[in-house]
Structure 1
């Protein structure tokens, strides 16, 4: 069993890093109010070439909350946000809290089937989405769900440059039966919703994860989870109102929600957003806004290194960089440091740990496992205890490989309306992560494998069965098996093995295109190999390990 306080050697990396922290509040909305009051005229969001002050964020979120309440939203109702990295995401989330609601974050890459699944499971009565996403996806879905009101907005709002690299769509498209979010907020501008407060066990948002058992599950990230890890980022990474946060992680993802949005709401550090990540535009935005802190998947930093306009000084303002969500090759860390002179610290966590449970302390480099070449994901953060357990639940000593089990104030209380899955993954409140790793004799943790077959493609989680189900919809496919295979850019990518029905033929590229049309972009297989037979055990179980070994 290991917690941060068990690391007497850590102060050599940072004498100021405490062993335990106590957030100022367990209420994320109270955290926001304190930040707004401290600097109302400072920048809250810097979006491409424009800025929104804390006062404006407060007024717009007040207006949204007031309008939701006038519409009949009740305490605990769910409001889904189907958006890219735009200011409305932040405004909407704060407004939902002010109205007493629960925010539901939805991946903007999700297609009809996936969106329907999440709206149905969450029971969301309100949907906030981009106009283009409504036109292309949501318009054909919402009628069959509990959604009674759809607000649409545009990525073109709050900025003036209309850079085609960031905004390939340059038109406004109001969907029939939808409400323009900006007009709605203007209608209610100047109104203030009744005061609302939360306890640490109240749900702040639902974040969906495939976890280790297949279908999406809504992790119930509470106000206590959110405030703790917002303050944990603040203290661990030394972020203050003097910093500027670069929002490169998707805001719907737990990293974007905590390491970008709520860290900014906690510290008062402006949050830099630019709709979608595009490397050359990102370099220009970094040089313009001089952000000092960010957390992103390693693919972000690879892309920055390879941007055509990258130079040695492009990232000099970024003095505090962490990366999580996908394995980090040590060679990439060295290459980034050689290119920009900045070290990338590893950080590790899950949706169910509300972002970090482990991190590399500032000021020091993570060790590399000599046997596997894996870079350590760090040590447990404040107030967090981590165990390595064998299959029988017995704790293992340093150096032995087992499942990582995490206990701490950032661990969610369960999954939305899924008691059995909650009991399986969180017995006694400790999270059985499904990740396999070990702790060395100095307390550094390493991830060496996955307990289940989940694929981690550039920080996005993919469940093989979902991809297989789509492949089975193709008329020529007899059997399908999907695994994760190493990929230099994404860390891991999706590969499908299929056997065909007798008398049929199909090209692998056709199968790739077939799945691409029906799934989020990160899920469809980049590789398809056609076999005479998919290898199976005598009981019919697919031998995934044999396929990976191929």
Structure 2
């Protein structure tokens, strides 16, 4: 069953329902349009769909009507279902949609009323059964359905619980999208395992989320660093607003040391790093509670942590050989959280998961104390006049300027150097910093081949729904690309 909703209670209900029926869920990004939705439905073979009613009216109905999918049952839910207040910042234009007499369609509210008190036989899932298909493009190619098993998800839910020290009294703030592996495991599975309350807000709207923090006083959250940048930048937000948190983690995108320092200065909270991929069911590395991630002296990168329980991580060279401590190569991960493969794609499984070890496509290294550092994605490396430039290092440096709110660095064509370093920068509100001033500032702090020769100021950087900045869209904006 495909689950095509926002961060609503229905998402959790849908997961539990399909699992208790003995089936598997297909997590669908609510931003997906018709072509993307049709691919996921046909590739997965989904026969049912839990769908937000406005997404059914706007996108999904035409896909199902097209006849290319196997979907024969649709359960409609609404953003207005099971929420504590009709916040106009989220629901000003929201109205409920009915079934319009479509025999394929029922509403979740009607199903709940119809079967209230009924005893439905449940099927117990095996550990190796697929709990959720989460689609990822991985390093290359069309989207692939990572087969997240019940064993994978249970292991990493326990990792969060035991590593962070969470109990039933600790509220979990759900800022990551629930369709994403971080939301699935670090929010839903964790809350189900511990019995902790899960605080949701339909979609991420900074003012609404801050109000939810003030009202429900959660103790834990994990989200992309862009979430925390947005929250801490709101007017009127002070240290007292963050006092309920005992631990905050950030994952899904690299974190610059300057950003964590600023966040701690403003909130009193230290952001712990976490690292993982869809194929590792969220974390494979985390910074232990009570410890601060070291910063590599050479690159300026903030450590993503150490491997979590029962997890083996190697750094591999171009020929697949294991590299010694301190050398940069591809991160390869094996452990109970690593998925067994991709849905109906044996060739991609063999290529990316040889022998069950995930070749992440991320470049990094391990220091002598066992801390791991993420340098960048292999495909994002910039070749400037024969020198390797990792965008992450340049971004971390630019975050050190007090007027820089967000930044993304890409390589652009250069007739002389082959590629040149370009930075897209969003400034803090009220800043009058010019691109030329920022280039000069960077030039004083980086080698000649590394500093950005060009800086373009933008109001907002393009992001995925999980908060990752889209470098590929920025590259496409440049007329020379």
CA distance in 1, matches of 2:240, 2:152: 37
**Counterpart mapping for 1:266-277 below 5 A:** 266-277=193-204
What is the alpha-carbon distance in structure 1 between the residues aligned to residue 260 and residue 41 of structure 2? Answer: 39
Partners of 1:354 and 1:193 lie apart in 2 by 30
Q: Please, which of 332, 344, 351 is the counterpart of residue 424 of structure 1?
A: 351
Tell me if the contact between 2:177 and 2:466 (Cα under 8 Å) persists in the aligned partners.
Answer: no
Deviation per residue, 1:131-159 (Å, 9 max, x gap): 11111111211223111111111111112
Summarize the alignment of residues 117-266 of structure 1 with structure 2, pairs less than 5 Å apart: 117-143=39-65, 144-176=68-100, 177=102, 178-266=105-193
Q: TM-score, normalised by structure 2?
A: 0.80
Mapped contact 2:252–2:466 kept (Cα < 8 A): no
- What count of residue pairs does the alignment treat as equivalent? 408
Decide whether the 8 Å contact of 1:280 with 1:309 is kept in 2. Answer: no
Contact 2:176 2:466 survives alignment (8 Å): no
Question: Taking structure 1 as the reference length, what is the TM-score of the superposition?
Answer: 0.71
Structure 1, residues 210-239: CA drift from partner, whole Å, max 9, x if none?
101221000000111011000010000111
After TM superposition, give the deviation of residue 410 of structure 1 in Å: 0.3
Question: Secondary structure at the residue paired with 1:347?
Answer: strand
Q: Does 1:100 align with 2:28?
A: no
Q: Does 1:293 align with 2:220?
A: yes
Moved more, 445-454 or 381-390: 445-454
1:439 to 335, 354, 366: 366
**How far apart are 1:494 and its partner, in Å?**
8.4
Q: Quick one: distance in 2 between partners of 1:80 and 1:425?
A: 25
Aligned-pair Cα RMSD in Å: 2.5
Q: Greater relative contact order (Cα 8 A, min sep 6): structure 1 or 2?
A: 1
Q: 1:400 maps to what in 2?
A: 327
Distance (whole Å) between structure 1 residues aligned to residue 158 and residue 226 of structure 2? 26
Q: Aligned to 1:162, what secondary structure does the other structure show? A: coil
1:341 matched residue in structure 2? 268
Choose from 513, 520, 530 the match for 2:479: 530
Unaligned 5+ residue runs, structure 2?
383-390, 414-461
Question: How far is 1:530 from its partner?
Answer: 2.0
3-state SS of the aligned residue for 1:525? helix
Deviations 1:259-295 (A, max 9, x none): 0000000011110111111111211110110100000
Matched, 1:358 2:280: no
Say whether the 8 Å CA contact 1:111–1:520 is kept in structure 2: no
Comparing 88-97 with 157-166, which one deviates more in the overlay? Answer: 157-166
Shift in Å at residue 167 of structure 1?
A: 2.0
Task: Work out the CA distance in 2 between the residues paired with 1:362 and 1:386.
Answer: 20
User: For 1:395 and 1:520, how far apart are their aligned partners in 2?
Assistant: 32
Which of 256, 281, 301 is equivalent to 1:374?
Answer: 301
Instruction: Give, in angstroms, the shift of residue 118 of structure 1.
Output: 0.6
Q: Is the 8 A contact 1:389 1:405 kept in 2?
A: yes
Once the two structures are TM-superposed, the CA of residue 160 in structure 1 deviates from its matched residue by 4.7
Residue of structure 1 equivalent to 2:449 = none
Q: Deviations over 1:466-515 (max 9, x none)?
A: xxxxxxxxxxxxxxxxx999696566488999xxxxxxxxxxxxxxxxxx
Of stretches 201-210 and 184-193 in structure 1, the one that deviates more from structure 2 is 184-193
CA contact (8 A) 1:109 1:520 kept: no
Q: Which moved more, 1:191-200 or 1:312-321?
A: 191-200
Structure 1: distance between partners of 2:49 and 2:80: 19
**Do 1:293 and 1:320's aligned partners in 2 also have CA atoms closer than 8 Å?**
yes
Q: Return the match for 2:34 from 87, 112, 116.
A: 112
Segments of structure 1 that go 5 or more residues without pairing to the other structure are 1-78, 456-482, 498-515, 535-550
User: Whole-Å Cα distance in 2 between the matches of residues 291 and 382 of structure 1?
Assistant: 25
Residue 520 (structure 1) shift: 12
Whole-angstrom distance in 1 between the partners of 2:409 and 2:39:
24
Matches of 2:141 and 2:410, distance apart in 1: 16
Return the offset for 1:372. Answer: 1.4
SS state at 1:313 partner = helix
* Mapping for residues 46-125 of structure 1, pairs under 5 Å: 79-125=1-47
User: Which whole-Å CA distance do the structure 2 matches of 1:386 and 1:380 have between them?
Assistant: 7
Q: 1:135 touches 1:175 (CA, 8 Å); kept in 2?
A: no
Matched, 1:387 2:311: no
1: CA distance between counterparts of 2:198 and 2:10? 13
Q: What residue is the counterpart of 2:258 in the other structure?
A: 331
Contact 2:286 2:305 in 1 (8 A): yes
Change (3 A) 1:205 1:496: farther
**TM-aligned CA deviation for residue 169 of structure 1:** 2.7
